[in-house]
Structure 1
Amino acid sequence: MTSTSYVARTNNAFILTETVKVAQLIHQGVTFDEIRQQVIEEDLFQLRSLASRRRALNTVFHRLQKVDLSYIKLLATGITDIRRLTNLFLILRSDLLLRELIDEVLLDKLKRLVYTVNPADLRTFFETKREQSPTITKWSDSTYQKTASNTVLVLVSAGLLQAIKPRGNYEIRPIPVPGALRQQLLLDGEELYLRLMLN
């Protein structure tokens, strides 16, 4: 279920560790209510405030709902690269801005054999989206800045971008999608996401 609207991503951008922990519990047959109790009351995520625990849990639950159990299994049992890229796939499904950033900036540069992204590239992309989209135009400056920053941070956390000097510049790093995730995506007719993962 691919989202076709923009979502403000102001916190909990990648949270791989927390997503994996919940996927492992689901894989073991633990119920959502039991997971909620472990996160909120027993501090499974090791987050101090109750508000932080709730926010992180809501993000993870939203990410894992309506997902085929094969992706839960990949997150629960896969090696690090499989977990990282499965998590990226789940985020891509719900994040139109992230999909467009990859398509319009990263893939466009790779086509031209350019392997770096600079602050001007990112500023132009986000400002153009803000001008074109009534949804993004309505965001406060703070929400806009945090969402832009977190959108880039997702790509860094996933390993598709690597920070280089000078500050604010990134190297684009196409990584082969591990076989198990690649097969599952092809089986489910999700080839689009292989392209968005720079495969």
Structure 2
Amino acid sequence: MTIELEYSSSLNGASNLLFELKQVVKLQRMGLSAQEIRSKVVDENVFQFENKGRITRTLPSVMRRAKAIDPTLASLMTEGSIEMGKVINLYAIMKTDLLFYEFMDEVISEKFQNNDYLIEKRDINLFFTNKSEQSEKVAGWSDINIEKLKRAFMQVLFESGLLKDRRGKELDRLIIDEQIKDHLIRIGDARYVRAMGE
């Protein structure tokens, strides 16, 4: 399923959300509809957030990601290892966030191809400068919004295991389970495997 994406800064309020995505995927696998999942997540505080407002802010992103995961990946995510879950979550983020996918494809994947394991501030700054020149939408975002997005991108890298240290600059290759890799290639999503550095 191809989702036509525009550039968005939604990653600001919803960076990694692996636990939350797993909860929604479990509910989907139980046969609940999108509406039933929304109600259950809010009414029963399935995400275990102290702030109810945060649920309504993050739920749309989590629902979008869950929709991007097919039954095979859903089963690997809920029954596989935490590492498998991290890879599938990263895939779902890329699949639903064009800007983050391009960051992975143009910056992270390229670094791995060149055996360059350092992500510098200038790499991220250059990426956003280029996108501002290519897109009126990105050019219209405030500096504060872009700074938050840069932090959100780094947070996703760290949480998914691509960044060794939360504050560091050293990248680490993901070990992508063969089942996930083969499945993504089979369904025509090899570009996401490449973007993860394979």
Instruction: Return the TM-score normalized by structure 2.
Output: 0.89
Q: How does 1:161-176 map to 2 (within 5 A)?
A: 161-163=163-165, 167=167, 169-176=168-175
2:7 corresponds to which letter in structure 1?
A: Y
Work out whether residues 161 and 171 of structure 1, in 8 Å CA contact, stay in contact via their aligned partners in 2.
Answer: yes
Aligned counterparts of 1:56 and 1:4: Cα–Cα separation in 2: 18
Residue 183 of structure 2 is matched in structure 1 by 184
CA RMSD of aligned residues (A): 1.9
The amino acid across from 2:180 in the alignment is: L
Question: Which structure features the higher share of strand residues?
Answer: 1
Aligned partner (choices 49, 52, 55) of residue 53 of structure 1: 55
Q: CA deviation at 1:176?
A: 2.3
In the TM superposition, what whole-angstrom CA distance separates every residue of 1:60-100 from its partner, at most 9, and x where no partner exists?
A: 11112254222222222221111110111111112222222
Give the aligned partner of residue 70 of structure 1. Answer: 72
Range moving further from structure 2, 130-139 or 59-68: 59-68
In structure 1, the partner of 2:193 is: 194
For 1:120 and 1:46, the matched residues in 2 are separated by 36
CA contact (8 A) 2:112 2:197 kept: no
Deviation at 1:32? 2.8
Cα 1:5–1:37 change in 2 (3 A) is closer
Post-superposition offset of 1:16: 0.2
One-letter amino acid of the counterpart of residue 110, structure 1: F
CA deviation after TM superposition for structure 1 residue 36, in Å? 2.0
Q: How far 1:102 sits from its partner (Å)?
A: 2.1
TM-score (norm 1): 0.89
CA–CA separation in structure 2 for the residues paired with 1:29 and 1:130: 42
Name the structure 2 match of 1:5.
6
- For structure 1, the 5+ residue unaligned runs are none
Q: Is the 8 A contact 2:161 2:172 kept in 1?
A: yes
Shift of 1:30: 2.8
Shift of the 100–33 alpha-carbon distance from structure 1 to 2, 3 Å rule, reads closer
- Structure 2 runs not aligned, ≥5 long: none
Q: 1:183 to 1:65 in 2, by over 3 A?
A: same
Preserved contact between residue 97 and residue 151 of structure 1 (Cα < 8 Å): no
The question of whether the paired residues in 1 share the 8 Å contact of 2:64 and 2:96 is answered with: no
Are 1:88 and 2:115 an aligned pair? no
Q: Does the CA-based 8 Å contact 1:2-1:94 persist in structure 2?
A: yes
